[in-house]
Chains A and B, each alone.
Chain A
């Protein structure tokens, strides 16, 4: 099926791999030639990196910090346990397939131990490290904005989970501490790769389950009878990236919401309903009625519930799981107080859907 497998994560050993020498024996170890550039380049390609090293945790982390490299590694495993265990932990924490991990170490014993337990991890000897950047599986075909900051998305998520589990008190108060900013804007060409990806990967909060190609989206984006909207979310821990999409067919007699989807990563933040509220408000301003397509996919009942609880009712159904819903535009929910909603200026003017 795939002619080329892409690795999502490189796991590094430290002693005699990342640097020359053994840290426990000499605190003045030096980075290997070119290693910094390799780490930075992999990072900019959206390839995640971690560490599996038998070392003293505090000592190793402070050395990495001294080199200015500590922030590049997610969930580092630095202790005296088996490296096969470390690889398993990293795989679990980052939540990627074990066969998308590349492990690099200078000791044949460690490489074999890992390979023995995890058959599908790709293991290479540290003496090959200069070939890493030209490895075809470490050269993704597309590098989008979201991939270039992938590591930061993971780090921000980690901070958020930590804060949420430590917070005592009502969840609305916790949400208020996040300083969320939700931005809605018309899709630009550079949004389309991610938009296509969203139509393919979103299941629960997806009104129709229909996928759209880059070309279709590009056409819709420029159609005078459609509005294609993209949403972005950020909070004090960082950016979630582009997380939602809506397609409105603007017709003489009514508007029809032909696609509405929102990434599962943000489902507990209430942002799906914010987008819906915005579209309802715009429809009311325009004094037009609003319909919405819904198709049962077996996985998107949450979207049906969202529509109904936002005030949509069934207008028609074909008995095959396809519905047209309608909203009477009374009783539109306000934006929640804990999210700042931004509707950016477009071409010098305030962006209104009806324009």
Chain B
């Protein structure tokens, strides 16, 4: 499983991003590209938990862990290796 592609695919499919912004890098804050609504937030957390078999605790639920592909990868690796 290529984690990076899985995450990018999920964001492409679920976030309201205009065509122009679709080529964001792994360090771009995608929360700033489109409008983040409650449903997207919840779906993102559920996706991460189910896809990678981890549990996102309240203290992990920080914007800085979720707002770029690379920061999310770091969170997932940290949780998996615990």
Closest chain A CB from B61 CB (angstroms): 4
Closest chain B CB from A14 CB (angstroms): 42
Interface hits, A272-309 → B, CB 8 Å: 272-273, 301-306, 308-309
A269, B18: Cα distance in complex, Å: 16
Tell yes or no: B38 within 8 A of A by CB.
yes
CB-CB contacts of B47-76 with A at 8 A, as 1s and 0s? 000000000001101110010000000000
Asked if B58 and A303 make an inter-chain contact with CB atoms under 8 angstroms apart, the answer reads no
Chain B positions within 8 Å of A301 at CB level: 42, 45
Closest chain B CB from A125 CB (angstroms): 48
Could you say which of A172, A205, A272 has the most chain B C-beta atoms within 10 Å of its C-beta? A172
Contact of B17 among A172, A271, A272, A309 (CB under 8 A): A172
Tell yes or no: A68 within 8 A of B by CB.
no
* A172-B34, A336-B35 given; A305·B41 CB < 8 A: yes
Closest chain A CB from B46 CB (angstroms): 9
Chain B positions within 8 Å of A309 at CB level: 31, 36, 41, 61, 63, 66
CB-CB contacts of A249-275 with B at 8 A, as 1s and 0s? 000000000000010000111111100
What is the interface size of chain A, counting residues whose CB is below 8 A from a CB of the partner?
Answer: 28
Chain A positions within 8 Å of B58 at CB level: 304, 314
Asked if B63 and A333 make an inter-chain contact with CB atoms under 8 angstroms apart, the answer reads no
Contact of A270 among B19, B31, B37, B66 (CB under 8 A): B37
A267, B41: Cα distance in complex, Å: 11
A252, B36: Cα distance in complex, Å: 31
* A270-B35, A333-B36 given; A306·B16 CB < 8 A: no
Tell yes or no: A118 within 8 A of B by CB.
no
Asked if A305 and B16 make an inter-chain contact with CB atoms under 8 angstroms apart, the answer reads no
Could you say which of B38, B39, B59 has the most chain A C-beta atoms within 10 Å of its C-beta? B38
Asked if B42 and A302 make an inter-chain contact with CB atoms under 8 angstroms apart, the answer reads yes
Asked if A305 and B38 make an inter-chain contact with CB atoms under 8 angstroms apart, the answer reads yes
A21, B2: Cα distance in complex, Å: 69
Contact of A303 among B31, B35, B38 (CB under 8 A): B38
Asked if A306 and B41 make an inter-chain contact with CB atoms under 8 angstroms apart, the answer reads yes
* A171-B16, A305-B45 given; A268·B62 CB < 8 A: no
Tell yes or no: A178 within 8 A of B by CB.
no
Asked if B37 and A304 make an inter-chain contact with CB atoms under 8 angstroms apart, the answer reads no
Closest chain B CB from A272 CB (angstroms): 5
* A172-B17, A305-B41 given; A333·B61 CB < 8 A: no
A205, B66: Cα distance in complex, Å: 21
* A172-B17, A308-B62, A309-B66 given; A272·B38 CB < 8 A: yes
Tell yes or no: A140 within 8 A of B by CB.
no
Interface hits, A289-347 → B, CB 8 Å: 301-306, 308-311, 313-314, 333, 336-337
Q: Tell me the A residues contacting B by CB distance below 8 Å.
A: 170-172, 175, 205, 262, 267-273, 301-306, 308-311, 313-314, 333, 336-337
Q: Tell me the B residues contacting A by CB distance below 8 Å.
A: 16-19, 31, 34-39, 41-42, 45, 58-59, 61-63, 66
Known: A306-B41, A337-B35. 6 other contacts (CB 8 A): A171-B16, A172-B35, A273-B35, A308-B63, A309-B61, A313-B62
